[in-house]
Amino acid sequence: MSMSPLRTTAPAADSHPPRRLAQGAELTTVDGRRGTHFRIWAPTRSSVEILLEESSGGEQAVHRLEREPDGHWSSFVADAGAGARYRVRLDEDGQGFPDPASRSLPEGPHGPSEIVDPAAFAWTDSLWTGLPLHGQLLYELHVGTFSPEGTWQGAMAKLPLLQALGVTAVEVMPVAEFPGRFGWGYDGVAWFAPSHLYGTPDDFRRFVNEAHRLGLGVLLDVVYNHLGPDGNYLEQFSPRYLAEHTNEWGRGMNFDGADCGPVRRYVTDNAAYWIDEFHLDGLRLDATQALTDGSAEHIIAALGRAARTAAGGRRLLLIGENEPEDANLMRSTELGGLGLDGLWNDDLHHAMNVALTGRRQAYYGDYAGTASEWLAAVKHGFLFQGQRSVWQGKRRGHPARGLPSASFVTFLENHDQVANSLGSSRLWTQSNPACHRALTALLLLGPWTPMLFQGEEWSSTAPFHYFADHTAELARAVREGRATFMSQFPGCVRGSEPSLLPDPSSPDLPEASRLRWEERDLPAHAASLRLHTDLAALRRSDPTLGAHAATGVSIEVAALTATCGIIRYFVDGPIGSAGPRERLLIVNLGADLVLPTIAEPLLSPPGRTQYGCWRIVWSSEDPRYGGHGCAEPDSEEKGWRIPGAATVLLGPLPLV
């Protein structure tokens, strides 16, 4: 896959070369001379200079940029090559700032920018065509804690294990440069520079290239709703970067105010940049509800259009997080939507969490954890589609009718929800093992797009704490803010004093959160890994489940009790042919059910001619997964015997 220009920006002077991005340092050739073209947006400044570090003696060469009519400053500097470091000085004052569009900040967000040649990397993924929406199994990971090394190289070494698990794409938590020695990445301040903590930009490219070689896609979590409080120098270049309004993280970006054009281009360029220069297969947009924009084209639609253009025909996945669950984000722009492919389904997570733990604190209070809830998610995606939320005291959600089931990204764990539990503990430690296996099966066999969180597949004992390394004053504010947020969960804090909450700035937290890969070989963890691997294989290979989102497969659901539900997969076709391919999924989180008969048509025998009987294809109570086994649930003589705390997949005999 060769690099193609994102699009070109023609500066004012005709002698200036075409550019890939509106801002930043780009290697190019002018009049036969190799060098770098710099372009900076600083409309209120009287002068802009590049302070280029010389290779010898640490001295700086000063290069004055030419002003363009629209507030950009630009110039070509000969002999400035890849690896050279520089700063941007404004109004001849001080030692300068990092470039707002730095492709690399090897010393962190306060250090000098580095010139990068994105075309130097030797890609070998020319046959890679991207990711379709259907059929994906996502895997969220944090580069800094995913491997012992906490680097791209360390993460790359683990990719074959994800391939063997059955994962189809990894979703990487934010990597845009952020301050400190560790962090989640949601306080990024240099959106074009992959964090130096994990390696070089080419290390990131190497990770993606290897993932593609193994048949894995790579999505990146990006944060456009705010910038971190430390290391954000955008306002030095123009106060117009930030909007007047604020959101829960601070001031948002100026997407629709005065001089918003370059700001919008800054964001759309960034979305396209990750897809083009790093060959990524999609983006996960953080907290889209905070992207306030009254423009004719919403910034989400604009950045999606730019990203898809940069993909150059590759299939791309754009997934959003949206707390209000506005399904319109997933509708096409032609139908008045914003064109995303999917959204995270917090509703189903909350319902399943309540079902497993019984706790209905804070935002879990709107859910009962009953079979009717998770069955409704099978049919409709989101559970709140305009009803009133008691917790929020207002209506929540929008109708999702007509959207494909695969649009709803579903999970039992993610970075936020693990960290928001007391002790940042994994869900399996808070629930009945058999019930946890049963809902894991529902997660991986349901019609949505499932997502696992790092280590979930082997029931990792590593917690996932919230951690962020900041200066003392900022660390105190973060600590207090964290305590305020967690106070919605009784027991986490007492008054204004933390009780069981660790200090987010402690270096012990990222280390405690690091995965312990040796656990995979221990018996109980190996059983969990076998469970997840077999479910992923079943989802991929079963002739009905593997095509449940495709034409010819329909799904019906019914709740038998408050804790037991059934999902039946029907297959269109000539009479008699559907029988062997029909599937019945029974999920029972309660006690064993022994019933002489059940007046529920979805439990009728398989096949259109009503012949044959159901037999177990797969069970979460298989002893190989740590279960206790279960008998066939259907008997002509003894009626239905449905095992408790189990998910069983049934198929007709003979199976094909």
Distance of CA 425 to the CA centre of its chain: 20
Residue pair 155/206 in contact (Cβ under 8 Å)? The answer is: no
d(CA 208, CA 137): 17
Closest CA to 516 of 225, 153, 148: 148
Is the preceding peptide bond at 433 cis, omega within 30 degrees of 0?
Answer: no
3-state secondary structure of 53: strand
Q: What's the Cα-to-Cα distance from 647 to each of 149, 439, 445, 627, 650, rounded to whole Å?
A: 38, 7, 10, 11, 10
625: exposed, middle or buried (C-beta count within 10 Å: 0-12, 13-18, 19+)?
A: buried
Closest CA to 361 of 463, 257, 536, 493: 493
Number of neighbouring beta carbons within 10 Å of residue 635: 11
286 is an active site residue: yes
* DSSP-assigned states of every residue in 376-414: HHHHHS-S-SSPEETTTTEE-----TT--GGGEEEES--
Residue pair 190/105 in contact (Cβ under 8 Å)? The answer is: yes
Structural element, H or E, at residue 27:
strand 24-30
- In DSSP terms, 392 is beta-bridged to none
- In DSSP terms, 212 is beta-bridged to none
Residue pair 650/445 in contact (Cβ under 8 Å)? The answer is: no
Number of neighbouring beta carbons within 10 Å of residue 118: 18
Catalytic residue among 277, 286, 534, 622: 286
Q: What's the Cα-to-Cα distance from 560 to each of 417, 587, 645, rounded to whole Å?
A: 29, 10, 14
293 is an active site residue: no
Catalytic residue among 49, 221, 321, 346: 321
Residue pair 64/42 in contact (Cβ under 8 Å)? The answer is: no
Closest CA to 42 of 283, 285, 239: 239
Looking up tokens 């297969």 gives 281
Q: What amino acid positions are annotated as catalytic residues?
A: 286, 321
